[in-house]
Amino acid sequence: MHVFQNRGSLKIVSFVLACGIFWSLSVAAQQSAPVLLSPPKRLPNISPPSAFNLNQIGNSQISGYKAGSDDKTMASGIVVGTLQAVTANSVGTLTTEKGGLGQHMWQGVSIRMAENMLAKLPVRLSSATFLDLLRRIMLSSADPPEGQSDGESFAVLRIGHLVTIADYSAALTLLSLIPRHGRGEGLVRVEAETRLLSGDQSAACKLIKNEVRRSQTNFWQKALVFCQFLAKEIERAELGLTLLREVGVDDPVFFGLADAMFEEKVYKVESLDNLSPLILAMLAKSNFVVQPASILDMAPNALRVVASNDALRVGLRVLAVEKMAQLDMYSDRVISDLYKKIVAKLPQPGSEQEVNHLSALEQRAMKRAQFFATAKRSHIPLVKAEAASQAFNLASEDGIFIGVSRLFKTELEEVPVSNEMFWFAGDAYRAAIANGEEERGQAWVTILRRAAAFSDEKSGQFKSILPLAWILNEGDEGLYGKVLSIGQDPNKMVLLHALLAGLGYKTPVEKWMTWANTAAKIEAEPLPHVGIWFALKAMDLSGDQSSVLKGANQVNPFSKKRESEPSNPPTIKSENFMPNTKHTPQGKASSIMLIIRAMGGHDPHAQNPIILAEIIRSLYSLGLPIEGRKLALEAALGAGF
Alpha-carbon span 221 to 202, nearest angstrom = 17
Question: What confidence score (pLDDT) does residue 48 get?
Answer: 31
Query: Is 158 part of a structural domain of the chain?
Result: yes
Confirm whether 293 is domain-assigned: no
Tell me which residue of 190, 244, 189 sits closest to 215, measured CA to CA: 189
Q: Is residue 341 part of a domain?
A: no
Whole-number pLDDT of residue 86: 57
In this structure, are strands 36-37 and 79-80 parallel, antiparallel, or unpaired? parallel
Q: Is the pLDDT of residue 301 over 50?
A: yes
How many C-beta neighbours within 10 Å does residue 381 have?
18
Q: What share of the chain is helix, strand, coil (3-state, %, to 5)?
A: 55, 0, 40
Give residue 144's domain range: 112-214
pLDDT in the model for residue 59? 28
**Lowest-pLDDT range, 92-96, 222-226, 361-365, 450-454?**
450-454
pLDDT at position 573 is: 33
State yes or no: pLDDT of 436 exceeds 80: yes
The per-residue pLDDT for 485 is 55
Mean pLDDT of 225-240: 94
Residue 625 lies in a domain: yes
pLDDT digits (tens, 9 = 90+) for 38-49: 333 332 332 333
Question: Is there a contact between 37 and 81 (Cβ–Cβ < 8 Å)?
Answer: yes
Reference 111, options 123, 99, 122, 119; nearest CA is 119
pLDDT tens track for 463-492: 888 888 888 874 444 445 555 555 667 788
Q: Which of 23-32, 87-96, 327-336, 468-477 has the lowest mean pLDDT?
A: 23-32
Q: What is the pLDDT of residue 484?
A: 59
175 assigned to some structural domain: yes
Is residue 91 over pLDDT 80?
yes
Boundary (domain end) residue, out of 183, 214, 245: 214
Angle at 125 between CA 121 and CA 128, to 5 degrees: 130
User: Would you state the pLDDT for residue 51?
Assistant: 29
Q: Is residue 448 a part of any domain in this protein?
A: no
360/384 Cα distance (integer angstroms): 24
Asked if residue 590 lies in contact with residue 109, where contact means CB atoms within 8 angstroms, the answer is yes
Alpha carbons 80 and 478: distance in angstroms, whole number: 58
> Which residues lie below 8 Å from residue 617, measured CB to CB, with a gap of 6+?
502, 541, 542, 543, 545, 628
Is residue 597 domain-resident?
A: yes
pLDDT, mean of residues 76-97: 64
Q: Cα separation of 116 and 619, whole Å? A: 22
| pLDDT confidence band for 108 (50 / 70 / 90) | confident
Strands (E), 190-305: 267-268, 288-289
Residue 442 pLDDT > 60? yes
In this structure, what is the dihedral angle of CA atoms 39, 41, 44, 48, given to the nearest 10 degrees? 50
Alpha-carbon distances of 82 from 69, 107, 378, rounded to whole Å: 6, 21, 66
Which range among 30-34, 473-477, 516-520 has the greatest average pLDDT? 516-520
Q: What is the DSSP string of 385-427?
A: HHHHHHHHHHHHHTT-HHHHHHHTHHHHTTS--SGGGGGGHHH
Report the range of poorest mean pLDDT among 13-27, 117-131, 213-227, 467-481: 13-27
Max Cα–Cα distance, the chain, nearest Å: 120
Residue 228 has pLDDT above 90, yes or no: yes
Note the pLDDT of residue 553.
41
Provide the number of structural domains found in the chain: 2
Characterize 302-319 residue by residue with b for buried, 16 or more Cβ atoms within 10 angstroms of its Cβ, and e for exposed: bbbbbbbbeebbbbbbbb
pLDDT number for residue 585? 56
Contacts of 353 by beta carbon, 8 Å cutoff, 6+ apart: none
Rg of the chain in Å (alpha carbons): 30
Rounded CA gap, 504 and 269, in Å? 45
Average predicted confidence (pLDDT) for the chain: 78
Distance of CA 82 to the CA centre of its chain: 35
Does residue 464 lie within any of the structural domains? no
Of 172, 199, 214, the last residue of a domain is 214
Please give the residue that has the higher pLDDT: either 357 or 240: 240
Q: What pLDDT score was predicted for residue 140?
A: 93
Q: What's the pLDDT score for residue 43?
A: 27
pTM of the model: 0.79
Neighbours of 137 (CB within 10 A): 25
Query: Does the pLDDT of residue 135 top 70, yes or no?
Result: yes
Local structure of residue 465 (DSSP, 8 states): T
Number of Cβ within 10 Å of residue 593's Cβ equals: 21
Which whole number is the average pLDDT over 601-607? Answer: 89
Per-residue pLDDT at 456:
73
Range in 81-95, 208-222, 317-331, 471-485 with the lowest mean pLDDT: 471-485
pLDDT tens, 250-282?
999 999 999 999 999 999 988 777 789 999 999
Which range, 31-35, 57-61, 387-391, 588-592, has the best average confidence (pLDDT)?
A: 387-391
pLDDT at 368: 96
